[in-house]
Amino acid sequence: MSSFTGSIASLDTGNIEDILNNAGVALVNFYADWCRFSQMLQPIFEEASNIAREEFPDVTQVVFARVDCDQHSDIAQRYRISKYPTLKLFRNGMMMKREYRGQRSVTAIADFIRQQKVDPIKEIHSLEEVNIADRDRRNIIGYFDQKDSENYHTFEKVANILRDDCVFLAAFGDVSQTERFSGDNVIYKPMGETVPDMVYLGSLTNFDLTYAWAQDKCVPLVREITFENGEELTEEGIPFLILFHVKEDTESLEKFQHEVARQLISEKGSINFLHADCEKFRHPLLHIQKTPADCPVIAIDSFRHMYVYPEFRDIEIPGKLRQFVLDLHSGKLHREFHHGPDPTDSTPGQEEIGEVASNPPESSFQKLAPSETRYTLLRDRDEL
């Protein structure tokens, strides 16, 4: 294929669809020649691609590719590249949410690709194995007549994409027979011993539908933020609504999840709903004059400032949590910190916000964003 230099494909608008759509796994390096981090990565990326080519000689299995973002700014914009180098993972042409953020070494990149090629589905040989599934994880279980079927191939594609979010199990033939009263069947086992299973009722030959259902189950509305995924969440670029809670305090977390689902589902694309272990994240709490002893605490981090929700117990007041988020978007939270309550404001229970401080505390989670010691950052964000 003429697009390949050595084992790396150079992507442009003419070949990108074809190369990515035909690759089971593709790792794409979005770079700029003038960026020193891109220059440092280039020989490492090349060597890792040679190892991958030796281990996976079939180019439909694994492709290493690159995009010169200066020459192909349209492609860089399409994939929202905001820093160089960015290593994005694709499966059958679909961009994965998680990019490669690991060590920039030949071994680490080669290992990452090997992990991506491990089958995410564990075959079960007796239904007893379903009963002992780890209920601290989200499990999706497929019961199929046979492996070589369109239904199972859809299940495989979905499992590959959501491999970090759910555990996938599958049973075939006689083992799965009792669970296939109306044909092949897929169920979701949520976390927790007492929560009932949920059955997928759509068509298993329809990938988009199956994927949308599984994603809804595997990727929770309220996600946990950790030091490991902080960079990734920060880079999504939308403010955080965070519940800080003691790890063992699942009751507050359940209340928060319930109220977010009830009041804020329509805001899903404009704010990230997160929860954090208040022992691990003592520092952001200190930023807002709180300690783990004050938990549960709710706050917004807009990446410029942090704002505290007045009283955790008020989240069950209909619309109150929603109003807090809307006040961020309208600029009201920011104004009230500087100038006290809006003069036209007659909303009950909002008055105390303006008295907390004359200046809101600075963002704490911005520090988890991609670092200038690893990337050339392309633009400063402009948020409230």
Report how far residue 351's alpha carbon sits from residue 342's, in angstroms, rounded to the nearest whole number: 9
Q: Which residue has the tokens 């299995």?
A: 61
pLDDT for the residue 342: 65
pLDDT for the residue 327: 95
* Residue 263 per-residue DSSP state: H
260: pLDDT strictly greater than 50: yes
- 114 burial via Cβ count (<10 Å: 0-12, 13-18, 19+): middle
Phi then psi for residue 91, to 5 deg, are -125, 120
* Residue 3 per-residue DSSP state: T
Dump pLDDT digits (tens) for 173-214.
999 999 999 899 999 998 888 889 999 999 999 999 999 999
What are the DSSP calls for 194-235, one per residue?
TSPPEE--S-TT-HHHHHHHHHHHHS-SEEEP-TTTHHHHHH
Report how far residue 339's alpha carbon sits from residue 313's, in angstroms, rounded to the nearest whole number: 26
Dump pLDDT digits (tens) for 52-97.
999 999 988 999 999 999 999 999 999 989 999 999 999 999 999 8
Q: How far is CA 31 from CA 15, 36, 110, 266, 381, in A?
A: 18, 10, 19, 36, 20
Report how far residue 228's alpha carbon sits from residue 253's, in angstroms, rounded to the nearest whole number: 20
Query: pTM for the whole thing?
Result: 0.83
Q: Residue 27's Cα: distance from chain center in Å?
A: 18
246: pLDDT strictly greater than 60: yes
pLDDT for the residue 133: 85
Contacts for 135 with CB less than 8 Å, ≥ 6 apart: 189, 191, 192, 193
Q: Residue 338's Cα: distance from chain center in Å?
A: 34
Q: Which is more confidently placed, 192 or 2?
A: 192
350: pLDDT strictly greater than 80: no
Q: How far is CA 215 from CA 84, 97, 218, 291, 369, in A?
A: 29, 12, 5, 35, 25
SS3 of 138, please?
coil
pLDDT for the residue 118: 95
